Amino acid sequence: MASKSDTAVVTRFAPSPTGFLHLGGARTALFNWLYARHYGGKALLRIEDTDKKRSTQEAIDAILGGLDWLGLDYDEAPTFQSKQAQRHTEVAHKLLAAGHAYKCFATQEELEAMRAEQREQKLPLRYDGRWRDRDPSEAPEGASFTVRLKTPIAGDVTIPDAVQGDVSVKNEELDDYIILRADGTPTYMLAVVVDDHDMGVTHVIRGDDHLNNAFRQLPIYSAMDDIEGGWPLPTYAHIPLIHGADGAKLSKRHGAVGVEAYRDELGILPEAMFNYLLRLGWASGDREEITRAEAIELFGLKGVGKSPSRFDLKKLENLNGHYIREADDALLAGLAAPLIGQAANTALLEKAMPVLKPRAKNLNELAEGAGFLFAKQPIAMTEKAAKALDADGRARLTILSERFRAEKDWTFEALEATTKSTAEAHELGFGKLAQPLRAALTGTMNSPGIFDVLVLLGREEALARIDAQAAPTA
């Protein structure tokens, strides 16, 4: 069979819309997208909505929203597998007419009896090919039938997988599976192959839970190539699944598995998720921080590891901290404002970003860290802040209040110089002044540098907060 590797690259992401976009799916989407972008090919999206009972519009929207958030764009409008049913059926009929598929008239009861027998004899549960060589005229008049693919019986089949290497199975392990159901509808296994062919897909990059399907899909390509030519096999790349920290396949019990939870609840930036998913199963040396542009330049299937990768929230958060520090201040202010609520003032937030963002690993921390800017009197105090405002602390605030009030320039440098000279004049360590000041201004003992805080709050608000805590002068 011809190989498609010499033609332009076409990849596809083919999610089944039965739930949100989970981390594994997002990583598959990313790898397909990067591969296409790296080779200047096409990235396509196919929604595999053939299971009408489990597919929902909500899931389609969540998947599209997640891909969009990650910045994965597609070169054509998404294809919906359910809309191609007629074409799938047409291919099934071609296979049937050419003798690569056959009608199976076995009834449900018969098949159940067959399986019961296999179970009893501890044999693998497989269709035994009972209609493979029988003539349909032997079936009762008007009996319903399924169409099964005539898969090779002897020898074995090898897939040269771009990630797993050569993987083989014995053909006797693959049974003649159904491609058209009794009601005439095509099955998933047929639909995938027909769609991949019709979309001109050259590289099938997907989770290795689909490796078994690849062996079953292969005979459809060979049969159709026999019948009409032009059905070369795609290059397969089955990527190992993502595991949780405990080594078990990633699932809900490991925490959030939907990409939207990382966006909406955990305050992760798309750049961080993009970078993290990229590193989850792919490496270029030991580099951790890789931008989108670098990823496009560097990505290839050679860098994809063979063993499952482990999801590590800490690593994701560290990367997120990196991207928060790199992010544009106005953009961050826009993202943090809704988390702060009505009191938030985006202009002030943006101004504060340079001192806020180095302290946050996610948007929630960023919003929390910005809270003091918009606090209203009386400022709520943490326990530690309240302690710093004991009698001594309050007395020091009184001194500072007077000195600050006389300040001509409300700037970082001037306020710093004043505070230092006040500390010296009163023979106090700098911390003895800074601690009650921080408490009074922010209600916490954990904030950006105190002079940054003074400047951001502005003279009036800062003095009001200091005076609210300062001991009344005797």
Contact footprint for ligand GLU (CB under 6 A):
14-16, 48, 192, 206, 210
Residue 318: its H or E element: helix 313-326
Q: Smallest distance, Å, CB 204 to ligand GLU? A: 6
Do 20 and 58 touch, CB atoms closer than 8 A? no
Do 111 and 68 touch, CB atoms closer than 8 A? no
For ligand GLU, the closer CB: 46 or 438: 46
Catalytic residue among 252, 314, 376, 408: 252
Query: For residue 235, what are the β-bridge partners?
Result: 203
Q: Smallest distance, Å, CB 24 to ligand GLU? A: 9
CA distance to 93, 100, 108, 292, 339, per residue, from 86 (Å): 11, 19, 25, 39, 48
Q: Smallest distance, Å, CB 431 to ligand GLU? A: 57
Q: Smallest distance, Å, CB 207 to ligand GLU? A: 7
What is the full DSSP assignment across 328-368? -HHHHHHHHHHHH-TT--HHHHHHHHHHHGGG-SSHHHHHH
Query: For residue 156, what are the β-bridge partners?
Result: 170
Q: Which among 331, 332, 337 is positioned nearest to 360, based on CA atoms? A: 332
The whole-angstrom separation of Cα 189 and Cα 220 is: 9
Q: Smallest distance, Å, CB 258 to ligand GLU? A: 14
What b/e string do you get for 415-447 counting C-beta neighbours within 10 Å, with b at 16 or more? beebbeebbeeeeeeeebbbbbbbbbbbbbbeb
Do 88 and 185 touch, CB atoms closer than 8 A? no
For ligand GLU, the closer CB: 208 or 365: 208
Residue 226: its H or E element: helix 211-228
The whole-angstrom separation of Cα 347 and Cα 344 is: 9
For ligand GLU, the closer CB: 31 or 262: 31
Q: Is 306 a catalytic residue?
A: no
For ligand GLU, the closer CB: 25 or 443: 25
For ligand GLU, the closer CB: 15 or 448: 15
The whole-angstrom separation of Cα 288 and Cα 291 is: 10
Quickly list H helices, 12-106: 23-38, 57-70, 85-97
Q: Smallest distance, Å, CB 56 to ligand GLU? A: 14
- Geometric angle at alpha carbon 296, from 292 and 297, rounded to 5°: 115
The whole-angstrom separation of Cα 454 and Cα 94 is: 78
Q: Smallest distance, Å, CB 192 to ligand GLU? A: 5
Q: What is the DSSP letter of 117?
A: H
Parallel, antiparallel, or unpaired for β 42-47 and 10-13?
parallel
Q: Per the structure block, which two tokens stand in for 402?
A: 């007077």
Do 357 and 431 touch, CB atoms closer than 8 A? no
Report CA torsion sign: 315, 321, 326, 332.
positive
Q: Smallest distance, Å, CB 99 to ligand GLU? A: 27
Angle between helical axes of 211-228 and 85-97 (0-180°, round to 10): 60
Q: Smallest distance, Å, CB 194 to ligand GLU? A: 12
Catalytic residue positions, numbered: 252
